[in-house]
Amino acid sequence: MWAQCDGMSGMTSGIILANLDPSIRPQDDLFGYTNGTWLAQTEIPADRGRYGTFDRLREQAEHHLRDILDEAVAANAPADTSRGRVARLYGAFMDESAVQAAGLSGVADLLAQVDGVTDAATLVALTGRLERIGLGGAIHHFVNTDDRDSSRYVTYLHQGGLGLPDESYYREERYAETRAVYEKHVAAMLALAGRPDPEAAAARIMALETRLAAGHLDKVADRDPVATYHLLTAADLTSLAPHVNWDGYAAALGSPGALGEVVVRQPDYVTALSAALADEPIDTWKDWLGWHVIHGAAPFLPSEFVQENFDFYGRTLSGTPALRERWKRGVELIDRLLGDALGELYVDRHFPPAAKARMSELVDNLVEAFRRSFATRQWMSEGTKAQALAKLERFTPKVGYPDTWRDYSGLVLSGDLLADVSAANAFETDRNLAKLGQPVDRGEWFMSPQTVNAYYNPGLNEIVFPAAILQPPFFDVEADDAVNYGGIGAVIGHEVGHGFDDQGSQYDGDGTLRNWWTDSDRAAFDALGAKLIAQFDRLEPRAAPGRTVNGALTVGENLGDLAGLGVGHAAYRIACGDQEPPVLDGLTGDQRFFLGWAQVWCGKAREETAVMLLAVDPHSPPEHRGNVVRNIGAFVEAFGVREGDGMWLDPADRVEVF
């Protein structure tokens, strides 16, 4: 039984005391007080754009995975086993001399197919063939539960076609220099591949991508699940975009029936794509497609391609000085393509079954805290409260690893790196397309167990916590409850809270997109969200002074953080029962709870990375996540925050949703 609120012998506070900065008052800056010494003394590793708690745990997981992979390679595990498959692909990636010797042979046939394109129809079909093997395209497809009918799967089509992180990079003046460097990078990659007249081709590619970007929804608009749901028949799709060879695209993906009925998330983009296919010269499209083949294959090509690719996407976009070691990139590749096969080996070695039971107690207390919170929300009517409770009752928590591991028996790997990467991507494409017409698999996981993260899936109304996140400072079996509830408990509350944030609240307990709110309750909730947007719009990241957070982009995650904190603290008090928590390391239980939250977000970023994340990341910078506690009355009381303190927020300006 793990420690509760009774001052058990040997209990530790779980606070990383060496990271505290006594020169900063928690009443002025909780994040700085909790992490200030670490921030002052820690350099971001040369191969990273940002570094913090998540990254440290990911490094630990990487080393564990490397040991597993090295052992599998050394053991020459049979090719038809999980160990054999991960060993073969990892071994092929690590054989750098073979990659150098292969040169461009792995993509020569693909580039020849690009050169053989004669019209828009054959071009679109080829984009489908390339997307099937992981090389992207003008449209991205994925299969998921139907937002309007969660009992079935449907194909979704999503905007694509760009080489820069986001459509804003193609239109905003502040990214003009990045665009110029990007165009030079495209030309350099084309030159390395021996493509003709690379500078002129790069200019044409840039112009075409700029046109495609103009049809994209921005990141904020793209968050709206209602506005991005457009269920179309095949005839509707053809009418919307008549110059897109939909039949050829679907057949090339490997599933001619995949587009019989689809959800188009951004119809304006599909229309813009169709117009561009009709207007732009086919040679421009061939330039563009050749570039995306080279770009997609770059990590698996000779070192000159890898370095040029890193120069732009690492140094320019992220400000990262050094390329990650090859073994780290190899581990990342196996995790992405064979995550369950590697995860089965990881869990067997690094995740004790007892951790599931301990997490179950936390989850139960968090759910109970949400249940009590709903009952006291004055802005929610009784009818909406009843619907919220019904949704809460249908939550499915998943902890550690899936009950059934993914079957890779149909995947045959040859030992040729690019061929095997293509085969693994095609295998995954086929696996997803095979879901169409089948019962929904509610046991499926969308993160591997070795992932240091967690997620809420609205279509399945589930919260998922992979094994790798269940360790300090998120989850510490040697620490008292306060830091565990401030860490993994608040993360649980955060993920449950996503079921009731501005997006998740539009799905019911079955995972179906429908309005279960009264108009007045929705208006009250939206008003709280608008208040939070305005609060975050004023905040500047430490790493990018002069820039501000996009409150509308980050509102869902900020709402999740507030839900996690408010309900996590209530759950902590449920766990304590009638006992008053002990004072440990001079800190009360409530103080340790909030420090436990703030130390989870310990981290820093390079300016270039911070700027990019402001444009594309729905999460706020770590210091603002740590300091979102200024909205929580229990934090104000725990530390005696007063007007004039840096963490003071007038009660009228605080946002406490749940």
DSSP state at residue 277: H
- In this prediction, what percent of the chain has a pLDDT beyond 70? 98
> pLDDT of 476-501, one tens digit each?
877 889 999 999 999 999 999 999 98
Who's near 344: CB < 8 A, 6+ residues apart? 82, 401, 405
Predicted local confidence at residue 10, as pLDDT: 56
Cβ atoms of 141 and 157 closer than 8 Å:
yes
Predicted local confidence at residue 285, as pLDDT: 98
Q: How many angstroms separate the Cα of 38 from the Cα of each of 18, 553, 603?
A: 8, 29, 9
* Beta bridge partners of residue 315, listed in sequence order: none
Whether 9 has a pLDDT exceeding 50, the answer reads no
Considering Cα of 417, then 419, then 425, then 431, what sign does the dihedral take? negative
Domains and CATH numbers, the chain: 101-337 (1.10.1380.10), 357-395+470-653 (3.40.390.10)
Predicted local confidence at residue 136, as pLDDT: 80
DSSP state at residue 547: -
Residue 424 burial class via C-beta count within 10 angstroms: exposed 0-12, middle 13-18, buried 19 and up? buried
Whether 151 has a pLDDT exceeding 70, the answer reads yes
Q: Is 312 helix (H, G, I), strand (E, B) or coil?
A: helix
Predicted local confidence at residue 7, as pLDDT: 47
Distance CA 144, CA 155 (A): 7
Prediction pTM value:
0.94
> pLDDT of 218-261, one tens digit each?
999 999 999 999 999 999 999 999 999 999 999 999 988 889 89
Distance CA 517, CA 499 (A): 13
Q: What is the 3-state secondary structure (H, E, C) of 342-360?
A: HHHHHHHHHCCCHHHHHHH
Q: Is 440 helix (H, G, I), strand (E, B) or coil?
A: coil
Predicted local confidence at residue 493, as pLDDT: 93
Cβ atoms of 552 and 222 closer than 8 Å:
no
| pLDDT band at residue 450 under the 50/70/90 scheme | very high
Whether 8 has a pLDDT exceeding 50, the answer reads no
| pLDDT band at residue 96 under the 50/70/90 scheme | very high
Whether 584 has a pLDDT exceeding 70, the answer reads yes
Predicted local confidence at residue 12, as pLDDT: 83
Tokens of 97: 């001399």
Distance CA 658, CA 643 (A): 24
Whether 1 has a pLDDT exceeding 50, the answer reads no
Predicted local confidence at residue 5, as pLDDT: 57
Beta strand pairing call for 149-159 and 261-264: parallel
Nearest partner of 526 among 493, 565, 559, 573, judged by Cα: 559
Which run of H or of E encompasses 463?
A: strand 462-466
- Axis crossing angle, helix 519-537 with helix 551-576, rounded to the nearest 10: 110
Considering Cα of 577, then 582, then 583, then 584, what sign does the dihedral take? negative
Distance CA 254, CA 238 (A): 19
Helices (H), 414-550: 417-433, 481-484, 490-498, 519-537
Whether 130 has a pLDDT exceeding 50, the answer reads yes
Which run of H or of E encompasses 34?
A: helix 30-41
Q: What is the 3-state secondary structure (H, E, C) of 92-154?
A: HHHCHHHHHHHCCHHHHHHHHHHHCCCCHHHHHHHHHHHHHCCCCCCEEEEEEEECCEEEEEE
Cβ atoms of 27 and 642 closer than 8 Å:
yes
Beta strand pairing call for 261-264 and 396-400: unpaired
Whether 194 has a pLDDT exceeding 70, the answer reads yes
In whole numbers, what is the pLDDT of the chain averaged over residues?
A: 94
Predicted local confidence at residue 3, as pLDDT: 40
> pLDDT of 588-643, one tens digit each?
999 999 999 999 999 999 999 999 999 999 999 999 999 999 999 999 999 999 99
Q: What is the Cβ-side half-sphere exposure of residue 324, based on CA atoms within 13 angstroms?
A: 15
Predicted local confidence at residue 356, as pLDDT: 78
Q: Looking at mean pLDDT, say which of 356-360, 364-368, 428-432 comes out highest.
A: 428-432
User: What dihedral angle (degrees, nearest 10) is formed by the CA atoms of 403, 409, 413, 417?
Assistant: -20
Q: Looking at mean pLDDT, say which of 251-260, 361-370, 414-423 comes out highest.
A: 414-423
Nearest partner of 471 among 461, 483, 463, 460, judged by Cα: 483
- CA 189 centroid distance within chain: 28
Q: Which residue has the tokens 């042979």?
A: 105
> CB pairs under 8 A, 24+ apart, for 652-657?
653/531, 653/535, 654/630, 655/528, 655/531, 655/532, 655/535, 655/562, 655/631, 656/562, 656/566, 656/631, 656/632, 657/497, 657/500, 657/525, 657/528, 657/559, 657/562, 657/563, 657/566
Instruction: Please spell the DSSP secondary structure of 349-414, one letter per residue.
Output: HH--THHHHHHHHHHHHHHHHHHHHHHH-TTS-HHHHHHHHHHHHT-EEEEES-SS----TT----
> pLDDT of 281-328, one tens digit each?
999 999 999 999 999 999 999 999 999 999 999 999 999 999 999 999
Instruction: Please spell the DSSP secondary structure of 603-636, one letter per residue.
Output: EEE-HHHHHHHHHH-SSPPHHHHHGGGGG-HHHH
Helices (H), 193-338: 198-214, 234-240, 246-253, 267-279, 282-297, 303-310, 317-318, 326-337
* Beta bridge partners of residue 146, listed in sequence order: 149
Residue 613 dihedral angles phi and psi, to the nearest 5°: -65, -35
> pLDDT of 21-72, one tens digit each?
999 999 999 999 999 999 999 999 999 999 999 999 999 999 999 999 999 9
Judged by average pLDDT, the poorest of 4-18, 225-239, 474-488, 512-526 is 4-18
Cβ atoms of 220 and 550 closer than 8 Å:
yes
- CA 558 centroid distance within chain: 15
Whether 353 has a pLDDT exceeding 80, the answer reads no
Would you tell me how many other CB atoms lie within 10 Å of the CB of residue 345?
20
